[in-house]
Homo-oligomer: A and B are copies of this chain.
């Protein structure tokens, strides 16, 4: 894994996302790294990220999948363009649709491993898939469609 996470390259004014902004002290502050051609995010839910006793809240799972996949699409785009993450013009992806299948309850209190990979990238659109594993069991699968923001719409 690389040391600096994908999210650490965002400029300050784009670093407040509730899911992955490093400057949002109320947020989840997820971190995504390369792991070969996949991107990995290890997330340790807090005790209050609960659904029913013993299990992780599904909305949190959807949130981590969302941010982790969108940031993976961004990292792949930078790589495809032979550019360093965070260099201008900035690349950001916005979520068009999010789908999560919850295969089994996700236990609370252990690290969760999210893996994401870009399945297809065509024009401004990308399809990204993800898995969530806990203790080597896949607990959820995600599929999201993201759209690259046109340059003039990237907030400055």
Contacts and interface: CB of A to CB of B under 8 A. Distances in A.
A14 interface: yes
Interface string A27-66: 1000000000000000000101111111001111011101
A150 to B, nearest CB: 13
B59 A155 contact: no
Contacts of A49: 18
Given A98-B58, A99-B99, A17 B50 contact: yes
A99 B143 CA distance: 9
Interface residues of A, number: 40
A52 B102 contact: no
Contact of A18 (B48, B54, B101): B48
**Which of A62, A96, A101 has most chain B Cβ within 10 Å?**
A62
Given A59-B19, A63-B63, A100-B97, A26 B53 contact: no
Nearest to A18: B57
A50 B23 CA distance: 11
B50 A59 contact: no
Given A24-B50, A62-B62, A66-B62, A57 B102 contact: no
Interface string A83-120: 00000000010111111111001000000000000000
A75 B101 CA distance: 23
